Amino acid sequence: SDLQKQEERGELLQPLIFVLLVLCSILLYFKVSLMDPGFVKPEEEVKEGEDKGQSVVIPQIPGDIKLRRCGYCLVKQPMRAKHCQLCQHCVRRYDHHCPWLENCVGERNHPLFIVYLSMQLVVLLWGGHVAWSGLYFEQSREWLQHNIFLLVSFLLILIFTIVVLLLLVSHLYLISCNTTTWEFMSHHRISYLRHSELENPFDQGIILNLWRFFC
């Protein structure tokens, strides 16, 4: 049959890989959106020894900066944590609240969020290539009627590809600097950054920053 001939020629391998990538992307979406991003629980009070450990790791932050209690959920916030009013929780190493995921991106799911964006980018680039290869251009109304769906699909894929690419590049840049979107956007309002001698006291070099984030 034609299906067996296509299988023998290896023509079914690429569609199968594409479908698997789409399924992996969907699974990653649900995993990142449903998992705990690093909520600070009331019983997880920061101990004095942990505070000292932080001051050893980050000596550039003045010692007179005290960890404060959240005005909303009343937990003692670890450094780099922030309260999300949409999730109604404080999140460790808070990055941002993602409306696509309906969840915060924080300490626990941030690496998976980067993997998800990378997978999405691969799927979009592949889909864009397929859509482009199916287009043949003619200046006629009949051509437009037969190819309008494919053309609109390609334009939508192109827009989403640009958005995902910019988002992924910006996140990788912030990760390489060991900072978060919240810290980058609100540097002047965060006490441990505003009073620090260095612009970014958490930066320990690109290689070490990437290693600690992903590993």
For the chain, domain boundaries = 2-36+102-214
Q: What is the mean pLDDT of residues 51-75?
A: 61
- Is it the case that residue 46 has pLDDT exceeding 80? no
- Is it the case that residue 149 has pLDDT exceeding 60? yes
List % helix, strand, coil for the chain (3-state, nearest 5).
55, 5, 35
Name the active-site residue from 90, 98, 104, 215: 98
CB atoms within 10 A of CB 64: 7
CB atoms within 10 A of CB 101: 18
Q: Which residues contact 175 (CB under 8 A, 6 or more apart)?
A: 114, 209, 210, 213
| Residue 105 phi, psi dihedral angles, 5° rounding | -105, 115
Task: Clarify whether 70 is annotated catalytic.
Answer: no
pLDDT tens, position by position, 2-31:
555 555 555 678 888 999 999 999 999 999
* Confidence at residue 53, expressed as pLDDT on a 0 to 100 scale: 40
Query: Where does the pLDDT of residue 63 fall: very low under 50, low under 70, confident under 90, or very high at 90 and above?
Result: low
